[in-house]
Amino acid sequence: MSVWKTLLKIAIHAPSPHNVQPWRVRILSESQADLLLEKRRTLPKEDHTGSFIILTMGLFIEALTILAANRSLALSYELYQEPSRFTPEHIAKAEDELLPFAKLTLVPKDTNSISTALAQDARAPFDETLFFTRRTSRISLLPKAIPPTDVEALSNLAHNWGQAYSQVTSPELIEQILEHNIDALFHDLNSPKYHDEIVEWFRFTDRQSQRERDGLDYRCMNSSRTSFWLAARVPQLMQLPIARPWLKKIYRKQLGLVPTIGMLAGPFWDPASAFETGRFLMHFWLELAKRNLYLHPYGNLVTNKAAAEWCREAIGISDIWLIFKIGFSDEPPESYRRSIEEVLVD
């Protein structure tokens, strides 16, 4: 197996919005490969600025960088275009389904043939097993506080990347945040463009999940098939005076115990910042895995304008780009990933 396939075997377990896995790779030689963005795996109706899909590509490059470093290799990258060329309006105009994103190059770490700025920088290494233990946990968290040493480590990591990590532990404020998350989700699911885009990624059965190996598997959503199907097919129920309170209770129960909500804030919403933020997020998520911590992002709290404004005022933090429950839990279900063969391009 080539070194690229060895790296990809693990890197494909990196996270992506809705588990869309937008990356494709064309191996050019033992030392070079092209990273491509698959157009149909972007989310233009939800990700209006393209920031999250650009973040995902930066995250994937950083995953490969970390994995290469564990094999005494340095990975450098050269973007084919500025990140601003991968916003929804630019992607929509692209004629090809696969968009060249970056040229990747592997060299021995002790080489002087690449610039220091592009080489793997000196940050804490991560064992590759963390890529398999790292997961989103939508199941109930355990009633256990995050140790202060872990909070300090996460805060320092964020600071080193020009970001800020904060937490909310007040039960009252947490419940308010969760209620606004549910309201934002119900609102967005009744917005036709958002609804049609996200439902395309719903996987309702084991057979469908195993066939597609991407998207939002009902097992991982901590949802019954019935409630998952209703959210997709009859979202109008969420707006009816009688059904809405009942459905909100069901969804709140699915969220389980939430003793802590975490937030990441900093440069993100312009394309160049989104790419660098993606690199940071890979480190942050692996650091969580190293400490046996899980998170579950509440994306609607940052993409829904009304919810985002409420969070900014209620929490008192600007430039929040990710809000999530965070803590310890039992091992959550594992989402499927596409095979290396499906990721590779001839």
Per-residue pLDDT tens for 153-193? 999 999 999 999 999 999 999 999 999 999 999 999 999 99
Q: Where are the beta strands (DSSP E) in 62-205?
A: 73-79, 98-108, 164-168, 202-203
**Any residues with CB less than 8 A from the CB of 275 and at least 6 apart, and which?**
54, 55, 57, 58, 79, 83
The conformational region for residue 111 under phi > 0 = left, psi -120 to 50 = alpha, else beta, is: beta
Per-residue pLDDT tens for 220-259? 999 888 889 999 999 999 999 999 999 999 999 999 999 9
3-134 and 148-327, same CATH topology? yes
Of 52, 23, 50, nearest in space to 322 by CA = 52
Predicted local distance difference test score (pLDDT) of residue 68 = 94
Predicted local distance difference test score (pLDDT) of residue 117 = 43
| pLDDT grade for 125, boundaries at 50, 70 and 90 | confident
Predicted local distance difference test score (pLDDT) of residue 32 = 97
Domain 3-134 fold is NADH Oxidase (3.40.109)
264-269 average pLDDT score:
97
Predicted local distance difference test score (pLDDT) of residue 108 = 92
Q: Hey, what amino acid is at 154?
A: L
Per-residue pLDDT tens for 47-58? 999 999 999 999
For domain 148-327, the CATH superfamily is NADH Oxidase (3.40.109.10)
Predicted local distance difference test score (pLDDT) of residue 334 = 93
CB 265 within 8 A of CB 321: yes
Check residues 122 and 14 and name the one with the higher pLDDT.
14
Q: Where are the domains of the chain?
A: 3-134, 148-327
In the block, which residue shows the tokens 């389980």?
256
Of 100, 73, 59, 57, nearest in space to 4 by CA = 73
Predicted local distance difference test score (pLDDT) of residue 1 = 60
Predicted local distance difference test score (pLDDT) of residue 224 = 86
| Measured distance CA(303)–CA(177) in Å, rounded | 14
Predicted local distance difference test score (pLDDT) of residue 228 = 93
- Using the predicted structure, report yes or no on whether residue 89 has a pLDDT greater than 80: yes
- Using the predicted structure, report yes or no on whether residue 300 has a pLDDT greater than 80: yes
Question: Would you say how long the chain is, in residues?
Answer: 346
